[in-house]
Structure formats: C-alpha cells, structure tokens
Amino acid sequence: MSSEQSVYDAVGGDAFFEALVERFYAGVADDPELLALYPRPDDLTDAKAHLAQFLIQYWGGPTTYSDTRGHPRLRMRHGPFVIGEPERDAWLRHMGAAVASAEGLDQELATRLMDYFTMAANHMINS
C-alpha cells in the first residue's frame, strides 16, 4: 500500500467491505447474546448495509453513508443499546474472525483494520 493510497483502494473497494460485513454478520446471526441487541434480529439487511456503507466511507470510499444517513455519530447511534465488555468482546470476536478470513489481505492492513475496530468497540461501551 502506498502512502497516498487509501485502505479502500488497497483492499479493492466496495466488494471487500461488503464481503467483510457478510462474514461478520454470519457470526452475529449465530450469537444469541449479540443478536439480541439488534432491533430486527430476524432481518439484518439494514444493519449490514449501514455497516458496509460506513466502513467504505471511513476507509476512503464514496460518502454514501453520510449522504443518506448524515454524520456517523457512532456513540449516539449505539446509545440506546446496552453495550458492556461482553458485548464488545463478542463484536470484536466476530469482526476479528471476518478480518482473519479475508482472502489476500496483507498483515499490515489487517492490523490497521483491527486497531480501528478495537478502538471503536471500546468507545461504544456504555454500561
């Protein structure tokens, strides 16, 4: 990855993040404790779309997330949900597995992604 290249471009754009989110939510769908936090646990379609759009934008892709949903305000958007260490750990476990199973992802990029996800998950703790 060159110093001018975004993570979005380095991983191949939308397809990488959409696949990452699919793998992440495959884990969430089998995790009753984490799944209970979702307003529509029987249909994660919107949650998947929102997370993929957010990650695409955050890592240097199109601004579709903000264009359609406004400023991310992650902590505020997650405020209604009780998020403690167990929920954080479950979220990170599933996201870590999704990152680890990404084909062709070099270690530097995997580390960057997980550093961000760890920081963000810690920031979401509200209980």
Per-residue pLDDT tens for 65-80? Answer: 999 988 878 777 777 8
Instruction: Decide yes or no: CATH 1.10.490.10 for domain 12-124.
Output: yes
Region 4-28: mean pLDDT is 96
Question: Is the CB of residue 117 less than 8 Å from the CB of residue 54?
Answer: no
Predicted confidence band at 3 (pLDDT cuts at 50, 70, 90)? Answer: low
pTM strictly above 0.85: yes
CB atoms within 10 A of CB 76: 9
